[in-house]
Amino acid sequence: MQAVVIGISCGDLNGIGLEVTLKALRKKSAALESGQLEIRLYCREDVLFAYHALVPDLPPVGEAIQAVNPWQDRAINLQPGVLCPEMGQAALDSFSMACDDLESGRIHALVTAPLHKANLPAQDGQPFSGHTGFLSQRFHGKALMVLSAGTTRVALATEHVPIKQLDALLGAELLTEKLHAFHQALQVDFGISNPSISVLGLDPHAGDHGAIGEADKAWVKPVIQHLQDGGMSISGPQPADGFFGRKGHETVDGVMAMYHDQGLIPFKLLHFGQGVNSSHGLSRVRTSPDHGVAFDIAGEGKADAGSMLAAIDAAIAMVQQRKFFHGQ
């Protein structure tokens, strides 16, 4: 059996990215030693060992981990918990080199450690909005963000955008596009042949039949009806405030949320520390843990690696599932 090759970008080196990566990889030692799994970690070897010496209680850096240098001879000064532009650039360089290898096929999937958007350089004059937007541009697609843990899968119609911009962004065309992408992702990447999806309403109580806003009645429901008529198993719009409390997410294969916090607040209340953030609708597989840089505990050796381990396992599973789906 051919080894699955996973690339891991280092994220912000002043955060917990490398810590959770090394802890997670300790759990994959059997797969690494057997040759079933190969890891390319986009972090220069001397920086990796310096980080290891700085943070307490880290497992040894295994020989099976291939350290890849994205920084040439540039000095990297580790300062756990400190926000600084130098580490933002280092994180972006690591991510960019990993994307090069992802595009060329040198790695089969990419797992991205957390970075901090505030200290990343602008891209084409625009603030860096996150891995998902970068990947959409890099791979000339429209990435869909999905958070998953076990059988809970939450997709976002919009991602890292201010609330005041939602009215201009959301509409029938975008929702239709995102629902098609989610349906395909559930089939191709999660292996569900006939997936069911619930759509959360945009307004409180899904608009209460027009009493609290017209959007759900005017265009959300017609989109759902149109997709139902086309054979998709889809329901909604569901009142978002009680949906997860009533365990509605347990009755379907996926949930489409209209905006970031609508989907991620309940997801993280249920699964924080074990969830996976993944990008779909692209020609390549990318996953990441469900948390950020955690500067408040960086360098202390306290970070839980559960979500990073889940992200690595999800990347492996999606690579294998795509091969199965395409009959390879």
| DSSP per-residue codes, 260-323 | HHHHHHHHHHHHTTT-EEEEESSSSEEEEESS---GGGTTTT----HHHHHHHHHHHHHHHHHH
Answer CATH for 1-143+282-328 from 3.40.718.10, 3.90.1580.10, 1.10.3720.10, 3.30.40.10: 3.40.718.10
Report domain extents, the chain. 1-143+282-328, 144-278
Ordered per-residue pLDDT tens for the chain, 328 residues: 688 999 999 999 999 999 999 999 999 989 988 889 999 999 999 999 999 888 888 887 777 789 999 999 999 999 999 999 999 999 999 999 999 999 999 999 999 999 988 777 666 656 666 787 778 888 878 899 999 999 999 999 998 888 899 888 999 999 999 999 999 999 999 999 999 999 999 988 887 777 778 888 999 999 999 999 999 999 999 999 999 999 999 999 999 999 999 999 999 999 998 999 999 999 899 999 999 999 999 999 999 999 999 999 999 999 999 988 887 6
Homologous superfamily of 144-278 in CATH? Isopropylmalate Dehydrogenase (3.40.718.10)
Candidates 270, 268, 236, 277; CA nearest to 250 is 270
What pTM did the predictor assign?
A: 0.93
